[in-house]
Structure 1
Amino acid sequence: MTTENFPELTLKDVRLAVESGGAALIDVLPPEHFERRHIPGALNACVYQVVFLDEVAKLAPDKSMPIILAGAGAGSMDVHTAAQKLRRAGYANISVFPGGIEECAEAGYVLEGSAARTLDQPFPAFAPEPRLYKLTSGDTAILWTGRNHNISHHGTLSVSKAEMDFTQGVRSGFKGIFEIDMTSIADKNLEGDPLKDVLEAHLASDDFFFVSLFPTAVFTLTEATPAAEGTATRPNYVMTGQLSLRGVGKTIFFPAHLRMLDDGKIGLHANFDFDRTDWGVIYGSARFFRHLGMHVVYDHISVEIRLVLA
């Protein structure tokens, strides 16, 4: 990604500028990070907040005033993003300190704050306790979407059981089991329409998921592999396991986010498509029928899963 050119300062340059009082040093990281550690003399305006420019205007009302921007460090776009915002807002004298907090810490420069002697990981590691985690009530959502040429239907399913076993630790591999209550299948985009009950009954019938005979679908996690480039905004694991649906068991794999939540719980979030016909759900599929007319249903179903385990 290309960026505009702004004067880049060294740590020595920053120290001299702050000590002389000739520039406003603005830390562009979130306020909770600023409270934990920041360069002495720095002010704070978080570039991730929509009120960033308003906050800077309070700190530096004179747009000709020299401003130095400091952030996380090398590889983070925070200071350059802030500089571009300020330039577009009319600030004329902007410099950046690309080394940021990380360079300060590596150089042994004394920082200020409640945890000034430590340096948090930019993307906290997935580090569950070595124990069995189970589904928490009220924190579950399985969303599905099915489509044809003219419309998309979306709805929900309930998870009746979810467990992930980390007793052997993350590196040694972990297993899990997830049970889905197929009798709970519900359509949401037809709320208030008499056709809602008709569609739900059809989905439950032998044309689709045959829930009277197969009321539960089960995904058994057999392997979870760390994903390449698994940053905080990309899936960090690839989940592989056996999906038993409508009496058919097949191996599937999909990318997923496994994250530690603030309260020590585990959050699992995944979204993927799968071909329903591989599990014998063939109604409306042109792979198996011709002259379907208005009864065409696309083969692929989209699924989004959100679970919290404790």
Structure 2
Amino acid sequence: MQKIVIVIAAIVVVLGGGYWFINRDSVSESTTSNEEISNTPEITEESVTTLDTGTYKVDEEQSTITWQAGKPAITGYVHTGKFSLADGSEFVVADQSLAGEVTVDMNSLDMVSLGGGKAGQESTLEGHLKGERFFDVETYPTATFRVTDISPKVLPGPDNIEYTATGELTMKGVTKTINFPIKVFVASKAEAWMTAQFSLDRTEWGLTAGSAKVAEAITEQIIGDTVTLDLSVRLIK
């Protein structure tokens, strides 16, 4: 259950979140499959025991949020980036509940690879995405995900791996409710990994730059609204 939470936040939150930030002149397409952007460490997809209740810390150094976005009209024009989690995120796991909040460091935006012949321009694109037109990290240095519900309400373990997470993602001053499937793999009674792959519509958080929804004309330079996220979060007691 806890893993589910973390994964979302790390979205996130997304959160989130960097995927759509791509500039009109340097954005990529978001048509690649989730499998292609997976940045998950080697995690055995099975639980060896049932996770203990209690308070867990998010291991920021081992947790990752990878995203992809692009220009739908240009085949193969795909950019990939990642975010890091901020220090201090914790979650409380009980028999039938999970509560907590994860914080994403928006200043940690790092371009992993650029498509469309833009290789070598990573630092330039990072500057665009961190600016006012996209994430505006000076005004909004973090994004957060607060877990509000997990289903089913059972502890992660050998018989319980797949969950649906629901929570509130706040990014660039906008809060929206999101939900998506996640998997929780228990490595020991005091350690677990949460993984998730899903998509978000960036425009719901006010990230409309380059979107067909606001463009005066539809051209191949339109940036896709859909951002694909791949989350991997480690929880330790």
> Aligned equivalents of 1:300 and 1:185: distance in 2?
18
Q: Report SS of the residue matched to 2:170.
A: strand
| Residue of structure 2 equivalent to 1:306 | 232
Q: Report SS of the residue matched to 1:291.
A: coil
Aligned counterpart in structure 2 of residue 223 of structure 1, from 131, 149, 168: 149
Aligned counterpart in structure 2 of residue 259 of structure 1, from 172, 185, 201: 185
The change in CA–CA distance for 1:164 and 1:248 in structure 2 (over 3 A counts) is: same
Larger RCO: Structure 1 or Structure 2 (Cα < 8 Å, ≥ 6 residues apart)?
2
Q: Which is helix-richer, 1 or 2?
A: 1
Aligned counterpart in structure 1 of residue 95 of structure 2, from 166, 170, 173: 170
| Residue of structure 2 equivalent to 1:286 | 212
Aligned counterpart in structure 2 of residue 185 of structure 1, from 100, 109, 119: 109
Deviations 1:150-181 (A, max 9, x none): 21100110001432211xx232x111211000
Deviations 1:3-42 (A, max 9, x none): xxxxxxxxxxxxxxxxxxxxxxxxxxxxxxxxxxxxxxxx
Aligned pair count?
A: 183
Q: Which runs of 5+ in 2 are unaligned?
A: 1-45
| Residue of structure 2 equivalent to 1:147 | 70
> Aligned equivalents of 2:138 and 2:218: distance in 1?
26
Aligned counterpart in structure 2 of residue 270 of structure 1, from 191, 196, 199: 196
Q: Report SS of the residue matched to 1:188.
A: strand
**1:242 counterpart = 2:181:** no
Kept in 2, the 8 Å contact 1:126–1:259? The answer is no
**1:138 counterpart = 2:64:** no
Report the identity percentage.
27
Deviations 1:96-147 (A, max 9, x none): xxxxxxxxxxxxxxxxxxxxxxxxxxx6487322211001242111101011
TM-score by length of 1: 0.54
Q: Which runs of 5+ in 1 are unaligned?
A: 1-122
Q: Which is strand-richer, 1 or 2?
A: 2
The change in CA–CA distance for 1:298 and 1:137 in structure 2 (over 3 A counts) is: closer
- Of 292-301 and 174-183, deviating more is 292-301
Displacement, 1:224?
A: 0.7
Q: Which has the larger radius of gyration?
A: 1
Kept in 2, the 8 Å contact 1:132–1:164? The answer is yes
> Aligned equivalents of 2:85 and 2:170: distance in 1?
14
Q: Report SS of the residue matched to 2:168.
A: strand
> Aligned equivalents of 2:161 and 2:140: distance in 1?
31
Q: Report SS of the residue matched to 2:133.
A: coil
1:279 counterpart letter in structure 2: W
Kept in 2, the 8 Å contact 1:127–1:170? The answer is no
Q: Report SS of the residue matched to 1:302.
A: strand
| Residue of structure 2 equivalent to 1:94 | none
> Aligned equivalents of 1:222 and 1:305: distance in 2?
18
| Residue of structure 2 equivalent to 1:33 | none
**1:127 counterpart = 2:50:** yes
Kept in 2, the 8 Å contact 1:134–1:309? The answer is yes
Displacement, 1:206?
A: 1.7
- After the TM superposition, which residues 39-188 of structure 1 pair with which residues of structure 2 at under 5 Å, given as runs? 124=47, 127-148=50-71, 149-150=73-74, 151-161=77-87, 162-166=89-93, 169-171=94-96, 173-188=97-112
The change in CA–CA distance for 1:137 and 1:205 in structure 2 (over 3 A counts) is: closer
Q: Report SS of the residue matched to 2:61.
A: coil
